Structure 1
């Protein structure tokens, strides 16, 4: 007979079964109109009154097999990789907040990883986010990632990092001096930099041609359906720095979000400022899934995920928006709470945002 353990708090209820599926509470944006930018902090800290909590089943990826999921169908993939910075290769975890260590050692590892296991021909790392505290910080900077020492906490809020237009906004804002400005010259060769920037120009030229063909001049109004340039995307490469016992990351099956739903999400347009390698100020959009009515979204997690089990989460893929495409567009995600986890050490994880070109 199956046994269960249940934990209930004001904001979350989790039932853990011995087959490693769980019933967990997820915080969704609870309105059909987007929030104001000023409301982001209470949203991500879980204190906004406009959140809607929905209990969903979360299936353990281990029961399906780590190699079962792929970027094309599921918008996420599990990559097997041992970093030189993590055990067992290293006896101790170095400071992942150290900008020089990240850009000289870890970023090149991640670029090599996505090229070898995902078949991309060119890639550029954009930034690092380290999550290693359990409590909400006061984040006052317009760009908290400008400070590599900034500590972040796991977000227990359902979100996708970009809408299609939001992903393209980052590519449009990238400067020709990106690698120098972003401190990424030592981690890449001159040939790799030249290749990426050349392909970027091809992408932007193809987007302009496609918008002209569609009869639109505003890129925020472009559908992306008739794009014929190089396929490109944005990924989050997410690694736990220790085996995860607290606040694991769950990933939503995009088919349960998009298929048969007229309005699956709201778009939060927001300014991005002072990001190294990009225009001084530009806009992107965050994707906030709407809580489902009369059904549950399908969710997955990796029980006791180790540092060698690395998520590649798709944030944007130009191929997914072509006419008739069946490619999964993006993976919404959220941390969630497990029973009895409060006394565990705060989850330590590092995610690298990467632009990739196939």
Structure 2
């Protein structure tokens, strides 16, 4: 086969160089802005970002922690239009069910529940707004899932699916600081506090987790319950020309690369402690992206997976990720996207 023939058979990758704002601050960040700005407690580092476009099918959720799949949403064609993507009713009645079925198909999970839908449709702005939740009143490892700060009346009717960024005045832009959306303790606290529907579904898992937590090595080493995992999907609403997503291959990161940034979201028993893991620099990190991602290409990323925590497991877990600046794209249209975080049970 000639070199020219080979060129035409394979897509050409657009490898890039990105400036990543790695966290370099305290082990327990206390500033509400520390988790979202690149101006505080950061070390800026240039990293190579490999384009997966030429071999996109080689990257999988269980193999790498991320995967791009083809999926055409009904919202992308009539009777819907571009404004339908931010319509709460359309999201709830059309898009959320699509994501649930897609998630089951890709992961093999028996049950999927959407926890959070987010719309991003404004340019990156520095510094970003502080998180919507108050900071915990004291440093904690977050393992108890208890209430912190002022007493909050229990909210037994909290919805399982929450949303942000869909209404005027709450617009959000890309996130530049690399992170994982939940740490292990925050993920377990979310399971037992997020909504009554989730608690009811995961009752046996919570009990098995509590038993494992009392044994040497804790939950990660001793959990014997049903497999469950947290994921996020990211769909652009038009071809991405600026502020694309980048993600680290799970196997090139270490457990200690994440620093817990604690927040207090509302739960059925009052506020509870949940963490985002801010990413510390590690020369082992291998970053990836997909060039010119289209609305029919959905990025799925793992946040955590109990299967990956087992000794000797070859299943990937959660991945660090963020958006990054592509030089020369400042005049391109603002990136628009919809993200859906979901929990899966087997």
TM-score scaled by length of structure 2? 0.81
Local SS of the residue matching 2:82: coil
Q: Secondary structure at the match of 1:330?
A: coil
Q: Which residue of 2 aligns with 1:264?
A: 257
Tell me whether 1:208 sits opposite 2:210 in the alignment.
Answer: yes
Q: Which residue of 1 aligns with 2:248?
A: 252
Contact 1:237 1:312 in 2 (8 A): yes
Paired residues for 1:60-75 under 5 Å: 60-63=51-54, 65-75=55-65
Map of 1:23 onto structure 2: 17
Contact 1:127 1:352 in 2 (8 A): yes
CA contact (8 A) 1:32 1:290 kept: no
Give 1:127's aligned residue. 116
Question: Could you tell me whether the CA contact under 8 Å between 2:122 and 2:172 is conserved in 1?
Answer: yes
Cα drift, residue 269 of structure 1: 2.4
Figure out how many residues of one structure are paired with residues of the other and give that number.
304
Tell me if the contact between 1:59 and 1:300 (Cα under 8 Å) persists in the aligned partners: yes
Alignment-derived partner of residue 157 in structure 2:
none
2:30: which partner in 1?
36
Structure 2 counterpart of 1:287: 277
Please tell me whether residue 160 in structure 1 is matched to residue 153 in structure 2. Answer: no
- Structure 2 Cα separation of the partners of residues 55 and 229 of structure 1: 41
Deviation at 1:55, TM superposition (A): 0.7
Distance 2:195 2:279 in 1: 31
Contact 2:13 2:53 in 1 (8 A): no
Separation in structure 2 between the aligned mates of residue 23 and residue 135 of structure 1, nearest angstrom:
18
CA separation of 1:222/1:98 partners in 2, compared to 1, >3 Å: closer, same or farther?
farther
Q: How large is the RMSD of aligned CA atoms in angstroms?
A: 2.4
Would the aligned equivalents of 1:31 and 1:290 in 2 still touch at CA under 8 Å?
A: no
Match of 1:355 in 2: 343
Alignment of 1:336 with 2:332, yes or no, is no
Q: How many Å separate the matches in 2 of 1:140 and 1:81? A: 31
Unaligned runs of 5+ in 1: 1-17, 179-195, 216-220
Trace 1:189-208 onto structure 2 (pairs within 5 A): 197-198=200-201, 200-208=202-210
Determine whether 1:222 maps to 2:215: no
Q: Confirm or deny: 8 A CA contact 1:250 1:336 kept in the other structure.
A: yes
